[in-house]
Structure 1
Amino acid sequence: MAVISFNDGWVCRAPLGPFAAGGEGAPAVPVRLPHDALRDAQRSPEAPSGGAGAYYPPGAFTYLKSFTVPAEWEGRVARLEVQGAFRRAQVFCNDEFAGNRADGYARFFVDLTPYLRHGRENVLRIEVRSGQDSRWYSGAGLHRPVLLHVDAPVHVVPDGVRVSTLRLEEDQAVVEVATTVANAGLSTRTAVLSTTVTGPDGRQVEREDTPVTLAPGERSLLRQRLYLQDAALWSPDQPSLHTARVGLGGDPLTDVLVTFGVRTVTVDPRKGLRINGDPVLLRGACVHHDNGPLGAAAVGRAEERRVELLKAAGFNAIRAAHNPLSPAMLDACDRLGVLVVDEAFDVWTRFKTPYDYAADFPQWWAADLEAMVAKDHNHPSVVMYSIGNEIVEVGTAHGARLARTMAEHVRTLDPTRLVTNGVNMLLAVLDDLPAVLEPDGGLNEAMASMDDAFSTIGASEAATRRTTESSAALDVLGLNYAESRYAKDRELFPHRVIVGSETFPSKIGTLWPLVLQNPNVIGDFTWTGWDYLGEVGIGATAYAEDPQAVAALEREYPYLTAWCGDLDITGWRRPISYYREIVFGLRTEPYIAVLRPQHHDHTVTMQSPWAWSDSVSSWTWPGHEGAPVTVEVYADADEVALLLDGTELTRAAVGAQRPVIATSETVYRPGELAAVAYRGGREVGRTCLSTARGPARLVVTVDRERLRADDADLAFASIELRDAAGRLITGDDRPVTVQVDGAAVLAGMCSADPGTAARFDACTWTTFDGRALAVLRPTRAGRVGVTVTCGALEPVTLALTAEEIPAQR
């Protein structure tokens, strides 16, 4: 099998289609895939998507690519692999309809063979459309890679190699390689299927050769059982990877390479989740699919960076929200040892937005589950498949029928993994909500707070009754905001295993102890690990003194992000991230967060359970000298003392208002603010913040100076305002401009500001809390020059190199 990257040479234009009004005259913009065509559209407060879609308009786009088909491809099979096209994609080859897909996240293949003109130029056209079809920013376009597969008549079919660990023994692992081969020719052929397995060190550890005879048009499944002596096992702590090279006919250029991990996954209500027999608790992050300044484009390095930073922040698991992850992100999870719950759907048959997937679900659900499993099967990081998120139908008898049908379909496709579903009990009883709440005081009382509503409804008898059947179809019941069931279900359903599939970030201090106390609960997934576009401002704080602020769950234009991630869209960790790390028991050093002093006496009109305190880890607040300020210190301790330049200001007990937090009131004065944590009267940790002083200077750091000159690599440039001693200046934000020359382009720029009208395609952004981010994308091999300027400050120049990397087989 020859697999060719098809990410270059495209143009994108609107409106939809060559025969639509004005279609031929619409400007065609050259693009490199993955690409989000909606990212650079003009946002507006009148956009139909509203805050859910980050005030982006609907869009329809046409992608065009011309390519020459060699004459020697005559008689071969050519398939286009589209890893993600949002949404309702239609694929045309030489103006002939070749295939389509409704779901914008499903990976699918289109057979181009009947439509190709050999020895001549060919034209691909892919049309997509987006608008009011998601509860978040979805983007639009070919947002994941596109590949071309060219095969000989006798070949391994796409996704045709599936590797499974059958059992682990003391001295060996037993692995099955199941390979589907096909004969697209006109005569019977006999070939030898050769499979070679290499270990993490690259040395061969097993081999098997199996002859196979195929009649014309026939497919055959070959199973090869291999025995790996003293195999290195894959686990989150040691993500050891093996490679299977599978070939037919001896031509290494047509071999299929599959990376896999040797590991087993089991679960039960007493011993929890175990990987290779070892217990694992899921410290989980829900993540949406967008990449901040890149929009929805799933460029490989951006996906990898997110996984790197999430793991560095203490997470060991990711839950896809609420659609299957990209292959690039799964590859990164495999390499870095992060577990995955891959999720198929946000809706089944009931709409959540006017034009969402519910219209397509009855026709496409089985094929889309098959596509997800085919994509995921060889990724050891994937431990669970989720068949849905907050599905209303799970509270009905016919919804339970559907849940069981879907769960069994997944098990037929892959019996080695667990099946879950993210159940929101409030939605499951939505049809008769008033009757459900009446015994508990009625709707108004239950809705006094969002948290109380979820707890009350989640623990109700009606929720138990209405979800028992659908939950029984699962290996693990995912509960969204229903920790009130953790202990309750140990008694009611002693064989039930639970995961907190979606939880309020502000409650992790009480949620994680519940996970530790209940062996039937295997982990917690916060909403969210990484901030995202859309559902704007659900984690922001609204103040009565702000005349622009709307006291509603979703905030007013120009809000852009949800502002509820542990990490913001630049990848910088917010205070909640360090709090969580301490709660997880992964950090012993205390952490200081200071509530923004400009809001000290303001009245909070909206702060949802998805919000954290409006705080920054900074002791630099110019213009607020002598003003009152609130200081939070996160510490696993009994009490915390605050010291300014060595003089104690105040002491506060830990846990008085929230677990693992001590809150103190003091006055802001420049200097060194230290927090000293005590347990039993003995110091157990300290940390400090120092005020930035003197003039600002630009500091720019890149995560890599040498890039691969391909379509998957990026360089991320962090831009900061610091003083001469290197202290971050958070109270004096300024516009910064980035210019890129040579073999790369500025692919996107942003700050973490959740409420900005700035554009990601702009080269100038104002810093937020002293920081901004620029993303560079190589266009060819060669030198890359980067210049960052900020008014009268000394500019910063960087020299990078994009290197041609030879293809590896």
Structure 2
Amino acid sequence: MPRWTRRDLVKAAVATSAAVIGNRTLPAEATPSSSPTHQASQPAAPPTIDNTLRENLLMDFGWRFHLGNACDPVKDFNFGKTAIIGTFAKSGDSGGATGSHFDDSAWSQINLPHDWAVDLPFVLDNTLVWTGGKPLGRAYPETSIGWYRKPFAIPASDLGKRIRIRFDGIRRNAQVFINGQYLGQDPSGYAPYEYDVTDFINYGGDNVLCLRVDATLSEGWFYEGAGIYRHVWLTKTAPVHIASWGNYVQSSLRSGITGPASLRITSEIENATGQPADCTVHASILDPNGEIVATVRSKSATIAAAANSIVEMQATVTHPELWSIETPHLYRLVATVLLNGKPVDQDSTTFGIRTTRFDKDEGFFMNDKPVKIKGTCNHQDHAGVGAALPDRLQYYRVELLKGMGANAYRTSHNAPTPELLDACDRLGMLVMDETREFSSSPQALEELESMVKRDRNHPSIILWSIANEEPQQGTERGARMGRSMMEALNRLDTTRPVTAAMNHSWGKGISGVVDVQGFNYNLPDIDAFHKSFPDQPTVGSETASTVSTRGIYANDPKRGYVAAYDTEKPRWAETAEDWWKFYDQREWLSGGFVWTGFDYRGEPTPYHLPCISSHFGLMDTCGFPKDNYFYYHTWWRTEPALHLFPHWNWSGKEGQLIEVWCYSNQQSVELFLNGKSLGSQTVEKNGHLVWKVNYAPGTIEARASSNGKVTLVEKRETTGPAAKIQLQPDRTKISADGEDVSVINVTITDAQGRIVPLADNKVTFTLTGEGKIIGVGNGDPSSYEADHATARSAFNGLCMCIVQASKTAGPITIQASSSNLESSNVTIESAAATPRPKI
């Protein structure tokens, strides 16, 4: 994160007007000292984006990587070995692999994002299973340290500019060096960090960025990965420039949702010179089609030497297109800094125009319409890649959730990568943005404040969360900590309420501090809280926690599998049906967030070994739906729905009772076995239907009806043996930028093309053309197969591979083959694209 002091943050805090959230009013802050605004009638700066004023360069390519050692300095490239002169005794001479002349030619060549933990072997140790079974920690010094080096050149013409490097996320505790010069240490695995490296650059020559990343200690109780798993950026600006995350747009509608929108624009200007600077900020507002709909400029502001100051402007959008779940319209602010009448810096940010509120009696409203929050909680890892997700996978995951009917996403339990929020903005997904550490320590407040400054322009965010199931949540000490966190947060944003995910002590501790009461589970206590505290809005910050394994219909502790009926849950949890019926019946409950949308590595429940992944997801780690996915699909969407399960391959169980479930939102469903009716049942809202069926090979068929007419039919058939491989890419056209990906889903079918629900054939992938396979998976929570590989066994008929484009356009052909199966291939077109500027 930018190296601000707490005093700097208070000094630079953005002023905001009072906001009513539920029934609570948040205090207004002091007005900035700089002159506020000139309206659009004044001359404005050119609205076009001028890339010569500021360069944002992606630093993801061309890195070298090697494991170090937490205990043995020789195996840690002699870092800290010298006893005569301390590691940090002399500036620019930290030793080990930190210097410019260190020979890293034997190190692995990698690109970012990178998670070295996903490549480590599984260690079947009960001390590791909770975090995914990878050897990270004090007992594993040889695999808990990672070294990264990145060479780059800066031209001599950049002398006089300010050069900054930002890390969006490093897991964890990174010591950062440039050209042998120690820059600092970043303890958080989730917060962004930024360094001004202007003084340390070799202008007109080569430079080396070096990091020693220490993943020995964890922050979570789940798989977190290890390494530089988010983007790294290098930014070049003039000495007088807009500070990092310095643009902030607040919108309000003057007369309901059809009236003009008033925009309050603030830009934080940094003067990195030794003299006062008189500057003006010109702002242009571009609508979702890229057309200019407003321009405005500030009055002249004097920025003191080596100081930051806020410049404020007001603008109006006459006919705003509102951001919503259904129509996620995005505007763009382009702000240009003029010094002595000459443009010197320009930065842009997207934002949305919408209204939100949490009401104590009627729940959540967006644009004055009631919206029930139908959310999921999620960690940040995915099959094949661990925690190092390419940007496209963020969109893929949000698309899958929206397809299910979800409209909200909780970032559990940490600040997310910015690209996830971009995906939620563009696809129409509400967000509860959660900080990692519940604390008012300087470090924790710095992380909270950086999250808020970075994320506050995203229209998708409707809630900030400051805590999750904390031991101090119900204490007076916790309340004091919460107040300090609220004060820090509200200095930077008062347009959204704050919540905390609490699993006990409601009405105590931080309950009296936050704006919206968050409930984790415990349905019987929610009505009592509402009766005692009727004026506080409420939300289900974490709900359900049903456990299931895709395609499994009987508990199997030996293999670590859990039946996929909506019946299995830990002692603290609820079934999908129980929690949703409860929340749906209470208008004052704003809705809730299911634990979880996707399975994730670590935290296996109810079984430990052999499991190395959770069972909580509505989808597995690949994104393949489980049956509970279809419960929500049925009741969270509005179109007619019908889902029948289990499969109908039960050889050896002829004549035995099989429990057959059905989800449908039609009036009734009739079930047939091999053409014979087993009876019709009336559908209960938010419920399910069950038949006990004596197994006989053939076909079970469900026919859903409304108003006396059959509306939907679904079958499950006894299949033949595995015979073919079918490939289904999520996209057949991607960009040749070295980053874009396509997810290839693999189905094992019989000769008639029906999925074989028990198939476990090992599938080998061969790629030709302009791309590479970056990961494989199958969603099996007890699988120890490698993620970075070219083969994967199917799990209950499914597996997948992720293909990434190179920087050269051309076709990418993937062939999938397996012994005794008909192979298949698919071609992805990798088209020429304008890549992001890189260094």
Deviation at 1:253, TM superposition (A): 10
Contact 1:290 1:298 in 2 (8 A): yes
TM-score w.r.t. length of structure 1: 0.84
Counterparts of 1:66 and 1:178 in 2: how far apart (Å)? Answer: 36
What secondary structure is seen at the aligned counterpart in 1 of 2:634?
helix
Aligned to 2:14: none
Evaluate the alpha carbon distance shift between residue 631 and residue 513 of structure 1 in structure 2; reply closer, same or farther with a 3 A threshold.
closer
Q: Does 1:102 align with 2:102?
A: no
Q: Does 1:200 align with 2:288?
A: yes
Q: Does 1:290 align with 2:381?
A: yes
Evaluate the alpha carbon distance shift between residue 554 and residue 126 of structure 1 in structure 2; reply closer, same or farther with a 3 A threshold.
farther
Aligned to 1:562: 614
Residue type of the alignment partner of 1:556: L
Counterparts of 2:438 and 2:194 in 1: how far apart (Å)? Answer: 23
Counterparts of 2:405 and 2:674 in 1: how far apart (Å)? Answer: 32
Question: Which one of 804, 809, 814 corresponds to residue 786 of structure 1?
Answer: 814
Counterparts of 2:367 and 2:664 in 1: how far apart (Å)? Answer: 34
Counterparts of 1:788 and 1:683 in 2: how far apart (Å)? Answer: 39
Aligned to 2:228: 142
Question: Which one of 81, 84, 90 corresponds to residue 169 of structure 2?
Answer: 84
Contact 1:83 1:108 in 2 (8 A): yes
Contact 1:301 1:714 in 2 (8 A): yes
Unaligned runs of 5+ in 1: 350-360, 426-462, 539-552, 595-617
Deviation at 1:65, TM superposition (A): 0.4
What secondary structure is seen at the aligned counterpart in 1 of 2:261?
strand
What secondary structure is seen at the aligned counterpart in 2 of 1:496?
coil
Residue type of the alignment partner of 1:158: S
Aligned to 1:512: 580
Deviation at 1:70, TM superposition (A): 1.0
CA offsets 1:576-597 (integer angstroms, 9 cap, x no match): 0111222336353221111xxx
Question: Which one of 717, 720, 731 corresponds to residue 758 of structure 2?
Answer: 731
Unaligned runs of 5+ in 2: 1-53, 78-102, 138-143, 547-574
Counterparts of 1:567 and 1:253 in 2: how far apart (Å)? Answer: 49
Counterparts of 1:71 and 1:619 in 2: how far apart (Å)? Answer: 70
Counterparts of 2:305 and 2:345 in 1: how far apart (Å)? Answer: 20
In terms of mean alpha carbon deviation, does 771-780 or 303-312 score higher?
A: 771-780
CA offsets 1:2-50 (integer angstroms, 9 cap, x no match): 1000000111111159993223499521111111111100111127423
Contact 1:639 1:662 in 2 (8 A): no
Deviation at 1:641, TM superposition (A): 3.2
Deviation at 1:145, TM superposition (A): 0.6
Counterparts of 2:476 and 2:302 in 1: how far apart (Å)? Answer: 48
Contact 1:2 1:254 in 2 (8 A): no
Pairs aligned (count):
717
What secondary structure is seen at the aligned counterpart in 2 of 1:39?
helix
Counterparts of 1:119 and 1:588 in 2: how far apart (Å)? Answer: 65
CA offsets 1:89-122 (integer angstroms, 9 cap, x no match): 2211112111222110101211111211111111
Aligned to 1:116: 201
Question: Which one of 147, 154, 168 corresponds to residue 240 of structure 2?
Answer: 154
Aligned to 1:379: 458
Contact 1:324 1:343 in 2 (8 A): yes
| Mapping for residues 572-611 of structure 1, pairs under 5 Å | 572-584=624-636, 586=638, 588-594=640-646
Deviation at 1:67, TM superposition (A): 0.8
Residue type of the alignment partner of 2:228: L
Counterparts of 1:569 and 1:297 in 2: how far apart (Å)? Answer: 14
Aligned to 1:503: 543
Contact 2:250 2:264 in 1 (8 A): yes
Contact 1:156 1:180 in 2 (8 A): yes
Q: Does 1:53 align with 2:132?
A: yes
Q: Does 1:4 align with 2:57?
A: yes
Q: Does 1:481 align with 2:521?
A: yes
Counterparts of 1:577 and 1:752 in 2: how far apart (Å)? Answer: 15
Contact 1:719 1:773 in 2 (8 A): yes
Aligned to 1:610: none
Deviation at 1:63, TM superposition (A): 1.0
Question: Which one of 792, 810, 815 corresponds to residue 765 of structure 1?
Answer: 792
Question: Which one of 470, 477, 498 corresponds to residue 419 of structure 1?
Answer: 498
Contact 2:641 2:666 in 1 (8 A): no
Structure with more contact order per residue of length (Cα contacts < 8 Å, sep ≥ 6)? 2
In terms of mean alpha carbon deviation, does 763-772 or 130-139 score higher?
A: 130-139
Contact 1:486 1:521 in 2 (8 A): no
Deviation at 1:768, TM superposition (A): 0.9
Evaluate the alpha carbon distance shift between residue 739 and residue 519 of structure 1 in structure 2; reply closer, same or farther with a 3 A threshold.
same
CA offsets 1:743-764 (integer angstroms, 9 cap, x no match): 2221100101111111101211
Contact 2:640 2:666 in 1 (8 A): no
Aligned to 1:436: none
Aligned to 2:48: none
What secondary structure is seen at the aligned counterpart in 2 of 1:330?
helix
What's the Cα RMSD here? 2.5
What secondary structure is seen at the aligned counterpart in 1 of 2:384?
helix
CA offsets 1:622-681 (integer angstroms, 9 cap, x no match): 5655554221112346764320232124566767xx962222222333333112346898
Counterparts of 1:800 and 1:580 in 2: how far apart (Å)? Answer: 32
Q: Does 1:633 align with 2:662?
A: yes
Residue type of the alignment partner of 1:510: D
TM-score w.r.t. length of structure 2: 0.81
In terms of mean alpha carbon deviation, does 201-210 or 628-637 score higher?
A: 628-637
What secondary structure is seen at the aligned counterpart in 2 of 1:100?
strand
Aligned to 1:279: 370
Evaluate the alpha carbon distance shift between residue 680 and residue 334 of structure 1 in structure 2; reply closer, same or farther with a 3 A threshold.
closer
Contact 1:758 1:765 in 2 (8 A): yes
Contact 1:51 1:556 in 2 (8 A): no
Evaluate the alpha carbon distance shift between residue 19 and residue 585 of structure 1 in structure 2; reply closer, same or farther with a 3 A threshold.
closer
Evaluate the alpha carbon distance shift between residue 183 and residue 659 of structure 1 in structure 2; reply closer, same or farther with a 3 A threshold.
closer
Aligned to 1:320: 411
Residue type of the alignment partner of 1:516: D
CA offsets 1:722-744 (integer angstroms, 9 cap, x no match): 23443211123200011223322
In terms of mean alpha carbon deviation, does 671-680 or 86-95 score higher?
A: 671-680
Counterparts of 1:240 and 1:678 in 2: how far apart (Å)? Answer: 38
Q: Which structure dedicates a bigger proportion of its chain to helix?
A: 1
Question: Which one of 14, 28, 35 corresponds to residue 67 of structure 2?
Answer: 14
Counterparts of 1:527 and 1:486 in 2: how far apart (Å)? Answer: 18
Aligned to 2:687: 660
Evaluate the alpha carbon distance shift between residue 208 and residue 317 of structure 1 in structure 2; reply closer, same or farther with a 3 A threshold.
same
Counterparts of 1:253 and 1:711 in 2: how far apart (Å)? Answer: 32
| Mapping for residues 243-322 of structure 1, pairs under 5 Å | 243-249=332-338, 254-322=345-413
Evaluate the alpha carbon distance shift between residue 228 and residue 266 of structure 1 in structure 2; reply closer, same or farther with a 3 A threshold.
same
